Amino acid sequence: MNKGKIKLGLIGGGPNSFIGPVHRIAAYMGERYDLVGGVFDIDYEQSKAFAEKLELDASRAYKDLDDFISGELSRPADERIEAVSILTPNFLHYPMAKRLVGEGFHVICEKPITMTAAEAVELAELVEQKGVVFSLTHTYTGYPMVRQMKAMIAAGALGKIHKMDAQYYQGWINPFIHEKDKRAGVWRLDPAKSGQSCCFGDIGVHAFNLLEYTTGLTINKVLADINTLYEDNPLDVDGTALVRTTDGVRGIVRASQIATGEENNIVVTVYGDKAGLRWEQENPTYLKFMEEGKPAQILKPGNPYLSEFSLESTKIAPGHPEGLFDAMGNIYSGTAQAIRKESYRDGAFPTVQDGVRGMNFIEAVLESSKNGQVWVSI
Amino acid sequence: MNKGKIKLGLIGGGPNSFIGPVHRIAAYMGERYDLVGGVFDIDYEQSKAFAEKLELDASRAYKDLDDFISGELSRPADERIEAVSILTPNFLHYPMAKRLVGEGFHVICEKPITMTAAEAVELAELVEQKGVVFSLTHTYTGYPMVRQMKAMIAAGALGKIHKMDAQYYQGWINPFIHEKDKRAGVWRLDPAKSGQSCCFGDIGVHAFNLLEYTTGLTINKVLADINTLYEDNPLDVDGTALVRTTDGVRGIVRASQIATGEENNIVVTVYGDKAGLRWEQENPTYLKFMEEGKPAQILKPGNPYLSEFSLESTKIAPGHPEGLFDAMGNIYSGTAQAIRKESYRDGAFPTVQDGVRGMNFIEAVLESSKNGQVWVSI
Amino acid sequence: MNKGKIKLGLIGGGPNSFIGPVHRIAAYMGERYDLVGGVFDIDYEQSKAFAEKLELDASRAYKDLDDFISGELSRPADERIEAVSILTPNFLHYPMAKRLVGEGFHVICEKPITMTAAEAVELAELVEQKGVVFSLTHTYTGYPMVRQMKAMIAAGALGKIHKMDAQYYQGWINPFIHEKDKRAGVWRLDPAKSGQSCCFGDIGVHAFNLLEYTTGLTINKVLADINTLYEDNPLDVDGTALVRTTDGVRGIVRASQIATGEENNIVVTVYGDKAGLRWEQENPTYLKFMEEGKPAQILKPGNPYLSEFSLESTKIAPGHPEGLFDAMGNIYSGTAQAIRKESYRDGAFPTVQDGVRGMNFIEAVLESSKNGQVWVSI
Amino acid sequence: MNKGKIKLGLIGGGPNSFIGPVHRIAAYMGERYDLVGGVFDIDYEQSKAFAEKLELDASRAYKDLDDFISGELSRPADERIEAVSILTPNFLHYPMAKRLVGEGFHVICEKPITMTAAEAVELAELVEQKGVVFSLTHTYTGYPMVRQMKAMIAAGALGKIHKMDAQYYQGWINPFIHEKDKRAGVWRLDPAKSGQSCCFGDIGVHAFNLLEYTTGLTINKVLADINTLYEDNPLDVDGTALVRTTDGVRGIVRASQIATGEENNIVVTVYGDKAGLRWEQENPTYLKFMEEGKPAQILKPGNPYLSEFSLESTKIAPGHPEGLFDAMGNIYSGTAQAIRKESYRDGAFPTVQDGVRGMNFIEAVLESSKNGQVWVSI
């Protein structure tokens, strides 16, 4: 069995990638991964140049996935890349993940996990069969105060939950959506590249995931009203989903990419019969705890009054903000624990099952909306 | 025609009333009303004692509404009470308003205007027929920054509106709702006293009103999911309504009385193709203006960069907060302008038509929810 | 002895007055005063017109203070104005207050109480001798959460205080100060009208007062560095004062009128060995309580967990903001309690002794600064 | 000349170090450094174990600084460690930096740079003589919005600056300071380990640095009042310094470690005749721009409306928070630019001259306070 740092490969994420640095930095943060090689770019020359820039062994910059797999499998087991981060365009996540899992690589995969729920289910089965670790980067679950929220709810701080509300509002598509020519040029609005859904597939699913992650509840019914804004636009850019959990708790998932002027305004609020909790992504170091009959409390990372899970997810003393890279770093560290078969906490990283649930949610949202806002089971 | 201060009467609002001081102070604020008399309490002795405490003419403390009407009508026109504020329990608003309007009094009425939409329509017709002023205290419309929001939207600051979201979250019912005995003792959960709806009737309708007030749009379709939380509880304590306007804009009205730890958390957000605007009731002196591609701006009352409507609704220099009493004061002042047949701005006070719209909304919410979350026209 | 509502007169505060409505509304709020007459404007015709507009008895609109005093004293005691609010330009506060106190009227006086500390001392002696109530409108002490801060500190919530810091930053003078012609036209920069100090006399003294009010400590040493910004400007527009209390606690009083873009940014923070407390005037309904080793708490008005003093200073349920008018209303109500010889809490209204302390502080600041920032005793 | 990644060594920062991960992650972030070796711990066995854990070449884990220097200098120039981060206890910064600079290593040094101003001056001369890069980790200057503040002020957004105010309030020493035994055990209160000053040496100097960094002004006079709180405590735990710049601008530097309940509450505010700017470390992604006569604007990282300097200091799209590690990463990246003789912006990293200025400030503060709060030149 391998020990020490995990040899990491990347598919995508090279020059000009927005998400590449997030993953690489996240991998460096916990000092548990060693970036060894990959297919950094679809253009082989660019890929090699990128490897050179990072001072990686030139022979580990591969032309394509086939090349990567055969190249790595031909090496001795203790030199071989063990885990691969998939940072390609959306429609490639599934085929590449399937291929890599099939060959026994651990996989860290960007969202969306697949293009359909059926694919996600199939992938989940393969992951189980192969016994590899599969980590899906629902990055926000890596924030210390999201983990604190999960830990507090699990410990009963809210009592019995009776209402939940998650918002993910962005405005980035507003400058492009109103003119036919401009919106035609947005890849996220192209089903072939983006999948069945734009807004819910990209961000609504984060809001859904945060509700399930923090509460531990299972959403099993959805009624949704999505909006493409223009008839010739094939994909949703906005919408609201009413949800219910298996034990009847009602919630709301609100998502938008036409919330003009918003950047990344995620707000997750959960209320129970003892208290409420609210977390906002743009001020991620504040968790508001509203106990019945008492002044609201503002919990902040790194303080002794927090749960162990939250404290383990902070690298610095109270009052020094951490951000998105640190959240992703926590997910990479949790994934490393699983790969090295160390004990790890529930929620240390999102799994392939979270991917299945997310895809089921997205498809339920689309079905509900297509049929005129009816309840659909997940 | 009467001139000078308006002679004001009160029905209800006497000793131990929570809302009485709000109305009296609001009336005093603009120095346009003279409180003359009324039926201050259902107990005649209490009513008289209250008049004495306020040093009113003892003969203007009446036993009941009949007494009030006959007493005032017997006086010379220039001594007679001209306007009456109705601050009684909910189920009495309609019969009293009908009676007073019928006799030619101007009326300032607490919410809900009536118990049914049909009653509201009937009342609106009577108001028109009698030519009196009818003011409904949707108090939040009196805030300077809500008026600024209305003025900016009317002036095109948001461009074409494409999304709106209003929240009214309270937690006050949480301590009472979970035990059968306790919830049975809450008057707001008794249909005979409270009407057809608790949460939407009391607060959801404010959120609805704020969307229509600020945007000038007309909501004509509703799909709602309300929650009584317990089967033996006859009235809603929580719910979400998807709404659409006559020109297809989608919105959300979210309301709760079980949002544990929340006090009066109203948030109104409207997005258009040029910008977004957000106002929060618990920080009422801040209006967030999010223009496409620019830094968000924080507008505050009393500044020269504001609309005239907003500036007229502030009594003090920038940086000195005003609050709920000041908002109600603005509504009283607007009502006074109408009573004295001065020119006044659209939105200076909520009218009987706002009452009709609110009751229609509430009934549509209930019908939608009863029928399993279907679209209902308003 | 008089009973019931207190007959109130105004000197100043008529048409075009900024502060007039604040006082009148504050007097109306508690329903303990009856506005009867006054010298509303220096122009007699304007004064009479103002009385007519407010529908006051025309004979109670006086030409000047002499007229007012002789007119009122000639009436039967039970019809006579009992309390007078002085809202004139600064340099008239002292002579008018002295005259009115000397004739036995209760006085509510705007800041600054006098032009010199010696005058304040003299006035204080006269107030004591005459046995009247003298209320100085340090308005911010009327806010419910400032009173909560005072109550908590008195109850030991902070333990032993070891540091305090008060800021009052405005930017209003910035547009006028940089050009000689413009600044020459600002009355607050004219010592004849404004007194010895502009910034510290007008606002620094509020910051000083809030430290003493909330902590109950006595500041007895000052070292100050004030700034006139231009040599030909006779009065300070900015400055910082280091202060020490009789028991050695150090503090800072920071004030500015050239803090460009600030409106009325008052922040009062006090730290003890158990906890810290912070209040900000522009968000007056939030009091931050930072207990050692615990999450910060956000206290809000009207909640059962507050002190009685704070709860008595709020007129409405939690979550409905009150503002400056309400704070002034509390001061008027406290003054009424004193006038009617009811029991009242320490801090219910600022007294003539607060005025003496404020003038001593201002003179110490000026002396310290003039002598090159040396320690000066108060 | 060397190319590619910079070979980095660490002195200190090994197991159990709080600051070690900050530096290592910062070095990884920009992918411009390769961590090669060092003296990770004073205990050689621990140091070697740490190198093994990080999978470094065992021969690069040195016993002590002498060993490190002779070991590295014995290697071929292109294999040699080029830059060294000094993360030892405070009193070792100077001797180690002097030694390393003397041998031609580039140095990245934790604060405080030295124990005395004289040492700092000497070190600065040596740095110049040796032509190496010396980077002092005033980490907060690495935040994108601090850099935006600097860029805006340089571009004239504030006009002529006329006031500045910097606060750095912590409460961490409160639990230890009040009992003699406890405070005796705090190393930061031991002059042998901590230097001449605790509060100003550790954090006041950051506030000072942020004023000079953002404004580009030079502070040349100080009047300070520091507080040890207890007579037997040799070092300051709190204090305030009045400052003036070479062109007469006045400012305030406020620092405390007994601000109970505060974590790392840095606030930097600068006002000019056109506008004001405020940045707060605990919400580092918001920069408040208060332009005369306009609504305040909230600038956020990554947006096109920002300066190039700020944009280059952000690694991700708007709305995704970055934090302290990212700020330190920016400083490491700026230092790398200098080491590789690339062009870099003024302010890309704090230099040895910033260290000299800081030490001068600290000594001036101490001298002023010792002499009873007199003005001292820097």
* Structural domains of chain C, with CATH: 6-140 (3.40.50.720), 144-316+352-377 (3.30.360.10)
Element (H, E) at A182: helix A180-184
Chain D residues within 8 A of C289 when measuring between CB atoms = 261
Tell me chain B's radius of gyration from C-alpha atoms. 21
Q: Output the CA–CA distances (angstroms, integers) from residue C28 to B21, B24, B148, C25, C330, in the order listed.
A: 11, 9, 28, 5, 11
Q: Output the CA–CA distances (angstroms, integers) from residue D182 to C111, D173, D186, D196, in the order listed.
A: 47, 10, 7, 20
* Mean predicted confidence (pLDDT) in D15-25: 93
- Interstrand relation of A161-169 and A265-272 (parallel, antiparallel or unpaired): antiparallel
Mutate to test the interface with C, among B256, B281, B282, B306 (most CBs of C within 10 A): B282
Parts of chain C with a pLDDT under 50: none
Q: How confident is the model at residue A336 (pLDDT cuts 50, 70, 90)?
A: very high
**How many other C-beta atoms can be found within 10 angstroms of the C-beta atom of residue C217?**
21
Any chains having at least 3 CB pairs less than 8 A from chain C are A, B, D
At C367, the amino acid letter reads E
Mutate to test the interface with A, among C298, C300, C305 (most CBs of A within 10 A): C298
pLDDT recorded at residue C2: 79
Percent of chain C with pLDDT over 70: 100
**Model confidence, pTM:** 0.98
Q: Residue D375 in contact with residue D223, Cβ under 8 Å?
A: yes
Q: How many CA atoms lie within 13 A of B10 on its CB side?
A: 31
Structure token pair of residue D153: 């002020």
* Mean predicted confidence (pLDDT) in A66-70: 97
Task: Nearest chain A residue to B296 by CA: give it.
Answer: A261
* Mean predicted confidence (pLDDT) in D28-34: 97
pLDDT in tens, A137-156: 999 999 999 999 999 999 99
A1 has pLDDT over 70: no
- Cross-chain Cβ contact C273/D260 below 8 Å: yes
Chain C residues within 8 A of D273 when measuring between CB atoms = 174, 178, 260
pLDDT recorded at residue D16: 85
Closest CA to D29 of A85, A27, A143, A313: A27
pLDDT in tens, D44-89: 999 999 999 999 999 999 999 999 999 999 999 999 999 999 999 9
CA D311 – CA A110 distance, rounded (Å): 25
pLDDT recorded at residue C125: 98
- Cross-chain Cβ contact C292/D260 below 8 Å: yes
Q: Output the CA–CA distances (angstroms, integers) from residue C36 to C16, C57, C71, C339, in the order listed.
A: 19, 7, 12, 17
- Positive or negative: CA dihedral B134, B139, B143, B148: negative
Structure token pair of residue A296: 């609201």
- Cross-chain Cβ contact A297/C299 below 8 Å: no
Helix locations, chain B, DSSP H: 20-29, 44-53, 65-73, 93-102, 117-130, 144-154, 174-177, 180-184, 191-194, 199, 205-215, 308-312, 324-339, 352-370
Cα distance from C300 to chain A (closest Cα, Å)? 7
Closest CA to D240 of D360, D365, D361: D365
CB under 8 Å to B142, separation ≥6 — which residues? B313, B326, B327, B328, B329, B330, B331, B334
Mutate to test the interface with B, among C324, C330, C340 (most CBs of B within 10 A): C324
Chain A residues within 8 A of C306 when measuring between CB atoms = none
**How many other C-beta atoms can be found within 10 angstroms of the C-beta atom of residue C304?**
8
Backbone angles phi, psi at B42, to 5 degrees: -70, -25
Q: What is the mean pLDDT of chain A?
A: 97
D1 has pLDDT over 90: no
- Cross-chain Cβ contact B275/A260 below 8 Å: yes
Phi/psi-derived region of residue C12, left when phi > 0, alpha when psi is between -120 and 50, beta in every other case:
left
pLDDT in tens, D252-281: 999 999 999 999 999 999 999 999 999 999
Chain C residues within 8 A of A298 when measuring between CB atoms = 295-298
Query: Is the preceding peptide bond at D112 cis, omega within 30 degrees of 0?
Result: yes
- Cross-chain Cβ contact D293/C175 below 8 Å: yes
How large is the ipTM?
0.97
CA B105 – CA B9 distance, rounded (Å): 10
Structure token pair of residue D82: 């080029």
DSSP summary character for residue A103: T
Cα distance from B298 to chain D (closest Cα, Å)? 5
Closest CA to D233 of D190, D201, D199, D200: D190
Of C293, C296, C304, the CB nearest to A298: C296
pLDDT recorded at residue D2: 79
Chain A residues within 8 A of C305 when measuring between CB atoms = 293-295
pLDDT in tens, C324-375: 999 999 999 999 999 999 999 999 999 999 999 999 999 999 999 999 999 9
Task: Nearest chain A residue to D26 by CA: give it.
Answer: A29
Of D256, D271, D372, the CB nearest to C259: D271
Cα distance from C147 to chain A (closest Cα, Å)? 17
pLDDT recorded at residue A188: 94
Mutate to test the interface with D, among A16, A18, A31, A340 (most CBs of D within 10 A): A31
A173 has pLDDT over 80: yes
Parts of chain B with a pLDDT under 70: 1
Q: What is the dihedral of CA C299, C301, C306, C311, to 10 degrees?
A: 170
Cα distance from B321 to chain A (closest Cα, Å)? 22
Q: What is the distance between the terminal CA atoms of chain C, rounded to a whole angstrom?
A: 39
Q: Residue B133 in contact with residue B83, Cβ under 8 Å?
A: yes
Any chains having at least 3 CB pairs less than 8 A from chain B are A, C, D
Of D22, D29, D285, the CB nearest to A25: D29
